[in-house]
Amino acid sequence: MDIHRDLKVCDLGSMGNRAFVECHEVAKERTFDIGTALYMAPEQAHFSERDWDLRAQYHGWIYSSKVDVFALGLLFAELSVFMEADVKETVFNSYRAGKPSSVLEHLSGEKGFVAWLTNIDPAERPTCAEILQHPFMLN
């Protein structure tokens, strides 16, 4: 399965021209060799801080396409409520720490869906097929 590793709101293509430029500029500043820090899954962000020699030891990256599922959850949260940049970073860090934020408290469907996608354990995150069959996607 392919891994995108760098999903972010700019990739959705639905943003206005200036918003896209601003987002692209932020992404350039915050993108590492393995993705944009703001949208990284916990295992991806953790690996970026490790010794780069581990990459050779493992013959590549030691995470799966579930990093994209996590990023998708963050995107759903971002698109569900307006958040200033500093608030968004705090909210996303909470999800990465395994502590879902209360920012979606008033949106029960979105809250549960985002919590499912951003499970701290990659093995507990859904597959793409499971996401498409979730009631939140079917409604």
Residue 59: the pLDDT is 44
SS (H, E, C) 64-131: CCHHHHHHHHHHHHHHHCCCCHHHHHHHHHHHHCCCCCHHHCCCHHHHHHHHHHCCCCHHHCCCHHHH
**Is the distance from CB of 92 to CB of 74 less than 8 angstroms?**
yes
Q: What is the mean pLDDT of residues 61-71?
A: 81
Q: What is the mean pLDDT of residues 16-43?
A: 57
Identify the band that residue 28 occupies on the pLDDT scale cut at 50, 70 and 90. Answer: very low
| Structural domains of the chain sorted by starting position, each given as residue range(s) with its CATH number in brackets | 17-135 (1.10.510.10)
At residue 35, φ and ψ (nearest 5 deg) are: 140, 175
Q: pTM of the full predicted structure?
A: 0.73
**Is the distance from CB of 115 to CB of 107 less than 8 angstroms?**
no
Residue 70: the pLDDT is 94
DSSP character for 40?
Answer: -
**Is the distance from CB of 14 to CB of 28 less than 8 angstroms?**
no
Residue 27: the pLDDT is 44
Reading the block at residue 74, the tokens are: 């963050």
pLDDT tens string 86-119: 999 999 999 999 998 899 999 988 999 999 999 9
21/91: higher pLDDT: 91
> Residue-wise over 24-40: b if at least 16 C-beta within 10 A, else e?
eebbeeeeeebbbbbbb
